[in-house]
Structure 1
Amino acid sequence: MNVDSPYEVLRCYHFINKNETDSDFDSSDDSIDLVHSEWIDDDDIFYEFVGKSRINEENSKYPHEPDFPSKREDAYWYVSPEKDFGCWIIFKYKKPMLIPRSIEEAEKGWSWKVYKSPIPLHNHNASLSLASKMAWYIDKDGYGQYVLLANGKISTISSPKPRFWK
């Protein structure tokens, strides 16, 4: 994390004070939490967050298979049609969705990286050490965006929902 970036600091603030924000993430969902005491004893999590790869690139099966389990029962592994990236899919929307033909045709959210689609239509471009921890999270309103998983919990989101969003 770049502590000099106000945007990144606000993302952390969003989760630390999640009960005080108008977030689209359900604050009663125990799978969403930024501060995890169990991270202290997990060396892999530390190396993943600082971007150091503890993965032997020769043995990695990414993107065809994840290098790390999601540690969630509601996540499944997805590989893009071009086979150039993979991510976990976490679907909280209760209705069926059609896949837009392109990111340009998808109904946009509060950022170009947030849109209605049951699968991601753009590559997350995460490093190999983080790629198997990336998830496409579709919220209760059908908007999807990338999140980072740590020990099965959502630790960082790419574009927090602004308070003013419908």
Structure 2
Amino acid sequence: MMPYLLLLLGLIFTWLEFYLPGGAFATFGALAILGALVSYFSQSESLIGSVIFFFVACTALIVVIRLAISRIRKSAAANTFFLSKDQEGYKAADFASGMIGKRGITMTEFGPSGYVLIDGKRYPAICRGPYLDKGREVEVIAGESGHFIVKPC
């Protein structure tokens, strides 16, 4: 009788984990199911009965998980868990490749990052080299994720 109660308790804890996430219910559920399996295996004299109990426990666990997910998807809270449509309009930061080779003046001290003035516009930049003082002339050698990589002239 004890293995069946532990299995039921484990399935209930697993169900609760989907609605009150945090890991505690999942841990208790896993321990209860493991305890049910160990308890049944130690009491059972039949290998076939133990294997059947194992597969019943696994099947019940899969059913509980699928039911919990389907209920969440149909609930009003589903919009907070799952994206209903693709995001549009977002573009990762890009740098203008036409700026490579241009020269500018550092607006801040670089150690190793700061701002550089190129063609009257301020851009974030990183220096791959020595510490640079404010007002130093630099050249754009590359760019990555929204900032330039510069070197002293």
Q: TM-score, normalised by structure 1?
A: 0.20
Q: Under a length normalisation based on structure 2, what TM-score does the superposition of the two structures give?
A: 0.21
Structure with the higher fraction of residues in helix conformation: 2
Greater RCO between the two (CA within 8 Å, min separation 6)? 1
